Structure 1
Amino acid sequence: MNFLEDINKSIEVLQNGGIILYPTDTIWGIGCDATNAEAVSKIYNLKKRDDHKSMLVLIDNAVRLNFYVQEVPELAYDLIELSDKPLTIIYPQGKNLAKNLLAEDGSIGIRVTEESFSKTLCRKFRKPLVSTSANLSGNPSPKNFREISKEILNGVDYVVKYRQDEQINSAPSGIIKLGVDGQVKIIRE
């Protein structure tokens, strides 16, 4: 299966409320339509994760932030532009996303992906994607495809073929929390 076939099959699954296992700009992620609360619940169940622990969202372009965040601090655009590695920013108030995706305080973590597969998928799907590490809650995040457990592989509706053979040991993104008052908090470097 080639890149575009993987993209098209992923979109078909996402449009039907399914969940996928796919490569991102960091580690392999479990994903779904970030606007579909039922699909988001499927990921919480698969990961055996408390639904009060929010998951992050991928988008393909910083221009889309205004549609999913109540008020985007100006600093966010500078951080995205200047970051030399994948950066997830936690924004104070998410909107137009599944309610069970937001943290208890209404905040949401969003990352603009530059990796070819996830960026193309977000662009063609025309919606944000949930991206959470491909592991059961409490277990270490897999550094590459071969480290993903059978339970996760069997629990998703589609496993992307693209990049499965890579030997790279990937790492999660950095995380910064921005407040509307200009407050900046580094969560993970």
Structure 2
Amino acid sequence: MKLKILNKNEIEIAANAIKDGDLVAFPTETVYGLGADALNPDAVEKIFKVKGRPIDNPLIIHVNNLEMANKIAHITENAKILLQKFSPGPLTIILKKKEVVPAITCANLDTVAVRIPNNKIALELIEKANTPIAAPSANLSGKPSPTNIQHIIDDLGDKINYAIEGETTIGVESTVLDLTEKKPKILRYGSITYEDLKKVIDIELIEINKQGKKIIKTVKSPGMKYTHYSPDAPLIMATGNIEEITGKINDLIKEYTEKGEKNENVGIIITEETKDKYPANIKKIVLGSRSDLKTISKNLFNSLREMDKNGVSIIFIEGFEKKGLGLAIMDRLEKASSKII
């Protein structure tokens, strides 16, 4: 492994690496990001190569204040209002870009995605590097997003030189809001909800592309065009009320074991309320309580990765109500799932 893991007192090393055109994985409050100098096209190109990320999938640029945001984007009145209300925090705003932003950073679009992360390590890294940092999630493209340092080691340990160890608290990526059209639109759900935004400005919801199957030529936001978040094993999500969900999953477990699948090869990702409703001799991960979606979202991607480490051949997971943070959770699960029932 060539990866050097840095602590919070070694951010200067990481900042110098960014200045030198290198990549650094770093924590934010959402997930780990894989960062490069957003204004250095050669450095940004490394992100796409390391992740195996399609070049037409735009990157989010992380800044540490409104002044830095203003250097890369045309800040509208609505943007100022939103940034003052929700930043630092898990909100990404899409704005018209300024010429200083290289084409590769924004997938040849005339727009740019901007965010001020709410994480001390991330903010200090940006400050010490003294440049906006382009950073998608620090995973191999298509895999579950990384929420701890072990995930970085697993995916990128032999591909990058530096990662800063730290905590992520939310576990799903930021809400993305497009302010470049007449009416602001949510392009990706996150922990800042439609209801939160509606209190501040007038916005509309759009149907977010599901599982990357619809043909979309261009996208302004990450997470709209390609399959994301998928574990190695097929993931089947059961939806409905709790009784329907548990019934569907138990039927699937029975179906797979009757076909000759060993119980230990079946994994289920479930909730506190339902953990006793399934057979005892299969692999289980409990995400948390349905009444605490913040814990569910924080544990979500790690649970998918843990199932792969357990070597299961099929994973069944419970769905959630599409309301509030549940919209963000279901957006990720719909993209990750091989099948939804």
Bucket of the pairwise TM-score, normalised by the shorter protein: 0.7 to 0.9
Query: CA–CA distance in 2 between the matches of 1:143 and 1:120?
Result: 19
Residue aligning to 1:128: 132
Residue aligning to 2:78: 75
Query: CA–CA distance in 2 between the matches of 1:24 and 1:78?
Result: 22
Q: Deviations over 1:142-178 (max 9, x none)?
A: 23333335341221121213x1xx4856221111011
**Against the structure 1 CA distance between its residues 34 and 51, is the aligned structure 2 distance closer, same or farther, given a 3 Å change threshold?**
same
Moved more, 151-160 or 18-27: 151-160
Identity %: 28
Residue aligning to 1:3: 8
**Against the structure 1 CA distance between its residues 62 and 160, is the aligned structure 2 distance closer, same or farther, given a 3 Å change threshold?**
same
Task: Say which SS state the counterpart of residue 100 (structure 1) adopts.
Answer: helix
Would you say how many aligned residue pairs link Structure 1 and Structure 2? 183
Task: Say which SS state the counterpart of residue 72 (structure 1) adopts.
Answer: coil
- More contact order relative to length (CA 8 Å, sep ≥ 6): 1
Residue aligning to 1:173: 174
Shift of 1:95: 3.1
Task: Say which SS state the counterpart of residue 148 (structure 1) adopts.
Answer: helix
Contact 1:88–1:174 at 8 Å: present in 2 too?
yes
Query: CA–CA distance in 2 between the matches of 1:123 and 1:135?
Result: 24
Shift of 1:94: 3.8
Q: Does 1:49 align with 2:53?
A: yes
**Against the structure 1 CA distance between its residues 175 and 169, is the aligned structure 2 distance closer, same or farther, given a 3 Å change threshold?**
closer
Question: Which of these two proteins has the greater Rg computed from alpha carbons?
Answer: 2
Query: CA–CA distance in 1 between the matches of 2:98 and 2:141?
Result: 24
Task: Say which SS state the counterpart of residue 51 (structure 1) adopts.
Answer: coil
Q: Which runs of 4+ in 1 moved over 3 A?
A: 166-169
**Against the structure 1 CA distance between its residues 183 and 4, is the aligned structure 2 distance closer, same or farther, given a 3 Å change threshold?**
same
Q: Deviations over 1:35-55 (max 9, x none)?
A: 111111111001111111111
Q: Over aligned residues, Cα RMSD in angstroms?
A: 2.0
**Against the structure 1 CA distance between its residues 119 and 169, is the aligned structure 2 distance closer, same or farther, given a 3 Å change threshold?**
closer
Shift of 1:182: 4.2
TM-score when normalising by structure 2? 0.50
Query: CA–CA distance in 2 between the matches of 1:74 and 1:168?
Result: 30
Residue aligning to 2:116: 112
Q: Deviations over 1:103-150 (max 9, x none)?
A: 333211110123101111111211001111011111221233333353
Q: Does 1:139 align with 2:152?
A: no
Query: CA–CA distance in 1 between the matches of 2:37 and 2:57?
Result: 17
Q: Does 1:30 align with 2:34?
A: yes
Query: CA–CA distance in 2 between the matches of 1:140 and 1:3?
Result: 25
TM-score when normalising by structure 1? 0.87
Task: Say which SS state the counterpart of residue 154 (structure 1) adopts.
Answer: coil
Query: CA–CA distance in 2 between the matches of 1:139 and 1:123?
Result: 30
**Equivalent AA in structure 1 for residue 175 of structure 2:** G
Q: Deviations over 1:30-80 (max 9, x none)?
A: 0011111111111100111111111111000012222101x2211011112
Residue aligning to 1:184: 184
Query: CA–CA distance in 1 between the matches of 2:8 and 2:185?
Result: 37
Residue aligning to 2:300: none
Contact 1:28–1:144 at 8 Å: present in 2 too?
yes
Contact 1:21–1:153 at 8 Å: present in 2 too?
no
Task: Say which SS state the counterpart of residue 143 (structure 1) adopts.
Answer: coil
Residue aligning to 2:43: 39
**Against the structure 1 CA distance between its residues 167 and 97, is the aligned structure 2 distance closer, same or farther, given a 3 Å change threshold?**
closer
**Equivalent AA in structure 2 for residue 78 of structure 1:** I
